[in-house]
């Protein structure tokens, strides 16, 4: 069949461990991953100063059907994702089509919740300001999947988060195989 297409949007000050972890893990699983900048330029400076050259600008990703969209966290990177009209439109279409919509760290609260895209249960980086936004939807899990929405907590759990996306797209066996190769 066709390769699963995954979109990873990034902005200046997005969290690089999370962004790279999602990209790397999904490519290992066999997905075709597009890292897209929402800033209008391909070269993006991440939260700790790492420079990443995106594959595309978000404006050029709107006509594509994505099997999964996964938003890294990092602040104020997550706010920049939330402010990107083309990305928000893609996320709304994704949820409406019941396709995998994933966010980690600050992004479940700052991106998904802000645009009413959170399901009944979700997790985020456990800072009070983010937990408050999730309110009664907040659970204590490391990775939460509810319907088509996968949420995660932060840099240290981003491999588990990425492997959950792999499991959902490719099955448990593939997730286990990729996880073993990554020694997790």
- Is 105 one of the catalytic residues? yes
Catalytic residue (one of 21, 61, 71, 105): 105
CB 90 within 8 A of CB 62: yes
CB 73 within 8 A of CB 107: yes
Query: Is 46 exposed, middle or buried, given 0-12, 13-18 or 19+ CB atoms closer than 10 A?
Result: buried
- Cβ neighbors of 156 (< 8 A, separation 6 or more) are none
Number of other residues whose CB lies within 10 A of the CB of residue 126: 13
The DSSP 8-state label assigned to residue 17 in this structure reads: H
**Look-up: residue for tokens 């996880």?**
179
Write phi, then psi, for 9 (nearest 5 degrees): -80, 140
The residues annotated as belonging to the active site are 105
């Amino acid at each position: 069949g066709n390769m699963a297409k995954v979109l990873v949007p990034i902005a200046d000050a997005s969290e690089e461990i999370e962004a790279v972890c999602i990209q790397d893990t999904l490519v290992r699983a066999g997905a075709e991953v597009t890292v897209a900048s929402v800033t209008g330029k391909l070269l993006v400076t991440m939260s700790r100063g790492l420079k990443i050259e995106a594959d595309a600008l978000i404006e050029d990703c709107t006509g594509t059907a994505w099997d999964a969209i996964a938003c890294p966290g990092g602040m104020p990177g997550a706010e920049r994702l939330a402010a990107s009209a083309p990305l928000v439109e893609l996320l709304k279409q994704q949820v409406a089509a019941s396709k995998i919509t994933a966010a980690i760290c600050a992004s479940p609260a700052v991106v998904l919740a802000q645009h009413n895209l959170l399901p009944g249960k979700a997790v985020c980086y456990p800072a009070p300001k983010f937990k408050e936004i999730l309110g009664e939807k907040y659970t204590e899990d490391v990775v939460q999947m509810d319907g088509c929405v996968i949420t995660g907590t932060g840099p240290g759990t981003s491999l588990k988060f990425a492997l959950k996306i792999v499991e959902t797209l490719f099955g448990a066996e593939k997730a286990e195989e990729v996880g073993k190769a990554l020694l997790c």
